[in-house]
Structure 1
Amino acid sequence: MQKLVYCHLFLLSLSCLSCWALSWSQNQQFKQAKNYEGSSDLVDLEYHMGPVLAAPINLYIIWYGHWNPTHQATIRDFLYSLSSSSAPFPSVADWWRTVRLYTDQTGSNITGNIVLSGEFYDSTYSHGSYLSRLDIQSIIKTAVSTSYGPRALPLNYRNGLYLVLTSSDVKVQDFCRAVCGFHYFTFPIIVGVTVPYAWVGYSGTQCPGMCAYPFAWPNYSGKPPPSTSGGNNIMGAPNGDAGADGMISVIAHELAEVSSNPLVNAWYAGDDPTAPTEIADL
């Protein structure tokens, strides 16, 4: 049931792409290279000749702040399931095959091999509990610092992807106001190399109605619609926590976009690459 709910949510976020994925067999999808554009009357998604994440991804999590171990386990389970081949249909891996339809100029598809390769626990709030967007890069720099010895993450500039997750008591610039998460690439002047990364915050206590919808109801929308059986029609969080389940939805969103637009010069719509419409926005 848990996987069904996640898959349903993710397929809704990429509904147009999902229709294409279901219309071809898996062999037909990857037999020959081809670029696929998102279908929308309002969005003109284009390829801008930049790379996609076609090589196997080594994913590194940075847990910033104090975390509930149950929430961490839920998020790990989702990340492990991205490359699972044994889960029954529909599954998260089936959804990721839709993301894989995007290619680069060489005809290489986005990878289906995503491995959780390391975790770093920054429970001392090394950069405080009020973070700017650039602070996220500094957190990555801290996590790969050799001063932490064997605890440090490797600085993998070949096929590394860094996922910074902030706990419920950490406030991030624009969080709950304009964004629930974002992705970009690191600046060599801060981290030392250019690598793709994404950030997602736990919204369960700060703005569940905005960043954990449909598992929570927005305050600005008034009372939620009543249920015919009593109570309301808010969708129950599959794992019992709207903040953690909302994070998984946002993590999926950001992983799809950072894989198809890691250096902000591949798949997007709009004239401004710093504020693009990307594949998970369709």
Structure 2
Amino acid sequence: MWKGFSTPSPPSSVVLLSLTIVLSSLLPLAAAWRPWPQNNKMNATDYVFEDSKKFEGSSEFVKLRYHMGPVLTSRITAHTIWYGKWERSQKKIIRGFINSISATEVPRPSVAGWWRTVQQYTDQTGSNISRTVQLGEEKNDRFYSHGKSLTRLTIQSVIKSAITATTKPLPINPKSGLYLLLTADDVFVQDFCTSVCGFHYFTFPSLVGYTLPYAWVGNSAKLCPGQCAYPFAVPAFIPNRKPFKSPNGDVGVDGMISVIGHEIAELATNPLANTWYAGQDPTFPVEIADLCEGIYGTGGGGSYTGQVLDGGDGATYNMKGIRRRFLVQWVWSHVLNFCTGPNALDI
């Protein structure tokens, strides 16, 4: 259920390509995401879209189904692990995004408006995903307790250390909590930059002691901004294409925001890999954010972000938060049967 690169799509649809990577010969797979295709053969049609056609996903081929598992219907609490050295300003950007998910007073297009699409998903009792996402406890791991090169299993060990710490351990909240492990820009995680920018899964009781939904997202500023902070950085194989100006002045963190949104949306709708996804095999799921990779506005698809907003300072964004602006990819609506977001021009 690891997701890899999506190849540039023809202008008539959004084509998703999954890359599976085995954790080990005995362990299940986990979901992951990156916004840019690993492909140096770009086609000019990737940048050309007819005005008369929609490119926000194809309902004809998408069979998103409910598989009877749980969704996060109670107030969602995001517990954060800051792994490595983080600036105070960087933490404020990420906290601001999470706090904005429930900020319904923010004018349109808002992060809360984006979350309303996620809220449409229900469990077998008809209960919707919670409208409230709040910041929980935080844990700082400034001294790289597990080193600067992490495997996927090591990530679970970092989470275990955070919940079993002798001082200020993170609370254990398996029913409505989610755990965000955010790695600093000098930390390498297995397959980071080559296959993934972030992923989510759940911890193994045999390793951690509990089944806890979690996500990892890395800061790519030093290692691969063109791959994981697009469109605020552009891959070297794309000539003469200028990056967008990031809305909060930090390319790496602004790039992380969309990945964090992607993973939180999928954790809410598929926390234990048995709920909302497309495909027959739960080890190869296509989830609600996977279906909309790289789409940030109307007309988006392939390597084109779609129609987004240009701030007075030249920064690019598509939704507003609490005193901040963000660029966050859209998610799949099973009601509309296509990708959508609060800045859509046709809803």
Instruction: Please tell me the TM-score bracket, short chain as reference.
Output: 0.7 to 0.9
Structure-to-structure mapping, 1:115-126, within 5 angstroms: 115-126=134-145
What is the DSSP-based 3-state SS (H/G/I as helix, E as strand, rest coil) of the residue aligned with 1:135? Answer: helix
What is the DSSP-based 3-state SS (H/G/I as helix, E as strand, rest coil) of the residue aligned with 1:250? Answer: helix
Deviations 1:234-258 (A, max 9, x none): 2110011111100001000001111
> Structure 1 stretches (4+) deviating beyond 4 angstroms?
none
Q: Is the 2:72–2:175 contact (alpha carbons within 8 Å) kept by the matching residues of 1?
A: no
Match of 2:125 in 1: 106
Match of 2:85 in 1: 66
Match of 2:246 in 1: 237
Whose helix fraction is larger, Structure 1's or Structure 2's?
A: 1
Match of 1:163 in 2: 180
Q: Which of 91, 104, 108 pairs up with 1:89? A: 108
Equivalent-residue separation in structure 2 for 1:170 and 1:49 (angstroms): 37
How far 1:86 moved relative to its partner? 1.5
Q: Which of 189, 204, 227 pairs up with 1:187? A: 204
Q: Is the 2:100–2:111 contact (alpha carbons within 8 Å) kept by the matching residues of 1?
A: yes
Q: Does 1:206 align with 2:215?
A: no
How far 1:169 moved relative to its partner? 0.5
Q: Which of 252, 262, 271 pairs up with 2:271? A: 262
Match of 1:141 in 2: 160
Q: Is the 2:73–2:176 contact (alpha carbons within 8 Å) kept by the matching residues of 1?
A: no
How far 1:89 moved relative to its partner? 1.3
Match of 2:195 in 1: 178
Structure 1 length-normalised TM? 0.81
Match of 2:64 in 1: 45
How far 1:146 moved relative to its partner? 4.0
Unaligned runs of 5+ in 1: 1-14, 16-37, 225-231
- Aligned sequence identity (%): 58
Q: Which of 226, 235, 238 pairs up with 1:218? A: 235
2:280 is aligned with what amino acid? D
Q: Is the 2:70–2:271 contact (alpha carbons within 8 Å) kept by the matching residues of 1?
A: yes
Q: Is the 2:100–2:112 contact (alpha carbons within 8 Å) kept by the matching residues of 1?
A: yes
Structure 2 length-normalised TM? 0.66
Q: Which of 53, 73, 90 pairs up with 1:54? A: 73
What is the DSSP-based 3-state SS (H/G/I as helix, E as strand, rest coil) of the residue aligned with 2:104? Answer: coil
Deviations 1:129-168 (A, max 9, x none): 1101111111110001142x2x211112232110000000
1:44 is aligned with what amino acid? K
Unaligned runs of 5+ in 2: 1-13, 15-56, 292-347
Q: Is the 2:90–2:253 contact (alpha carbons within 8 Å) kept by the matching residues of 1?
A: yes
Taking a change above 3 Å as real, the CA distance of residues 146 and 205 of structure 1, as seen in their structure-2 partners, is closer
Q: Does 1:76 align with 2:92?
A: no
Equivalent-residue separation in structure 2 for 1:281 and 1:158 (angstroms): 24
Q: Does 1:272 align with 2:281?
A: yes
Equivalent-residue separation in structure 1 for 2:61 and 2:197 (angstroms): 23
Q: Does 1:249 align with 2:266?
A: no
Equivalent-residue separation in structure 2 for 1:141 and 1:262 (angstroms): 18
Deviations 1:6-36 (A, max 9, x none): xxxxxxxxx9xxxxxxxxxxxxxxxxxxxxx
How far 1:272 moved relative to its partner? 2.9
2:210 is aligned with what amino acid? V
Equivalent-residue separation in structure 2 for 1:278 and 1:206 (angstroms): 27
Equivalent-residue separation in structure 1 for 2:192 and 2:117 (angstroms): 28
Deviations 1:181-222 (A, max 9, x none): 000001101111111011100011111111111111012223
Q: Which is further off, 57-66 or 155-164?
A: 155-164
